Amino acid sequence: MALPRTPSFRLDGRTALVTGASSGIGLGCAVALAESGAHVVCAARGADRLDAAVAQMREAGFSAEPLVLDIADLDALSGALMSRDAFDVVVNSAGLARHTAATETTAEDYDAVMGINLRAAHFLSAGVARKMKDAGKRGSIIHISSQMGHVGGIDRSVYAASKHGLEGMVKAMAIEWGPHGIRINTICPTFIRTPLGEQTLSNPERRAWIESKIKLGRIGEVEDVMGAVQYLASDAAGLVTGAAFLIDGGWTAG
C-alpha cells in the first residue's frame, strides 16, 4: 500500500500579484509567496515605499517587481490586468479603515471604505478570474478580510459592513468559478501589529478591550498570517474555496 503524501506548499514557476504590498500584512503576504518560490508582482499606490520594499525583497534573494497601482481606479486596474499574462495567485491586501461612531459617519468616509474594501475587491477578483479562465489556469484568489467580517466592533459599522459584504461576495464567486478550478478564499485576522493597527493599539482603553477578546492573550503579528497565505495559494489547499480562514486568537469563538 502506498502511503499518502502531503501536497506541496511550493509555488515555483508561478506568478503572484499582491496588492497593498508596500507594508504591513501585504508585505508579509508578498514575502510568504516569494519564500515559496513565486515571482511576486507587488502593487501599491505609493511608489517610494513600494520600491523600498521590493528592493529589500530582492536583496533577500526573492523574485519581485513593483507595480504602482490604485485598485480603486477601475480603469487603471483593468489596464494593468489586461497588459499582463494571467496570474496564478492573487492576494488582495489593499484596504481602508475610517473608524467612527455610526451616528458620526460621513457619506465621504462610507464611500471611501466601500470603494476600496468591496467595490475594488469585486472588480479585481472578476478581472483576474477572467484572465485565469481564458488561460485555463486553476488559480487561487485570496482576500485579506477581517474578523470584523464575522462579528461587530466598536466604531466599526462601515468597516464591518464592508468585510461582511466581502465574505458574501467570495462565497458567491466560489460557486461561480469552482467549475473552472479557480479557488477564492478569505483570511480573517484579528488586530495585527502594523503601522495602521498602531492607531488603535496606542489607545490604552481600546487595547485592553482587544486583549480581553483574544483568547490566546496577545495581539497578532504579520508572521501569524504568512503561513495561511502560503497554504491557500498552494496545491495543499486544492479543495478549499469559498472559505474564511480565521486567524483571530479565538475572538469569534465566543
Tens digits of residue pLDDT in 213-229: 999 999 999 999 999 99
pLDDT given for residue 10 in this prediction? 98
> Do residues 161 and 183 touch, judged by C-beta distance below 8 A?
no
Q: Which residue among 22, 35, 39, 159 is the active-site one?
A: 159
Q: Name the percent of the chain lying above pLDDT 90.
A: 92
88 or 195, which is more confident? 88
Give the model's pLDDT for residue 198: 79
**pLDDT confidence tier of residue 201, bands split at 50, 70 and 90:** confident
- Give the residue from 117, 142, 125, 231 showing the smallest Cα distance to 176: 125
Mean pLDDT for the stretch of residues 130-156: 96
CA–CA dist 208, 36 (Å, integer): 36
Residue 205 has pLDDT above 90, yes or no: no
Q: Please, what is the angle between helix 107-114 and helix 157-177, to 10°?
A: 30
The pLDDT assigned to 82 comes to 95
Q: Are 88 and 15 in contact (CB under 8 A)?
A: yes
Indicate the residue type of 122. Answer: H
pTM for this predicted structure: 0.96
- Residue 21 three-state SS: coil
Whether 159 is a known active-site residue: answer yes
Give the pLDDT confidence score for residue 196 in this predicted structure: 75
Residue 84, pLDDT > 80, answer yes
User: What mean pLDDT do residues 149-177 have?
Assistant: 97
Compute the average pLDDT of residues 144-153. 96
Side chain identity at residue 220, one-letter code: G
- Give the pLDDT confidence score for residue 159 in this predicted structure: 97
Banded pLDDT at 203 (limits 50, 70, 90):
confident
For 161, residues 6+ apart whose C-beta sits below 8 A from its C-beta are 114
Amino acid 63: pLDDT: 98
Distant-in-sequence contacts of 74-77, Cβ < 8 A, 24+ apart: 74/120, 74/123, 77/120, 77/123, 77/124, 77/127
R_g (Cα) of the chain, nearest Å = 18
- Residue 220's DSSP bridge partners are 192
DSSP state of 240: -
Cell numbers for 181? 478550478
Instruction: Round to the nearest angstrom and report the end-to-end CA distance of the chain.
Output: 44
How does DSSP classify residue 119? I
Dihedral over Cα of 168, 170, 172, 174: its sign: negative
Average pLDDT over residues 71-91: 97
Calpha distance 240→221 (Å, rounded): 24
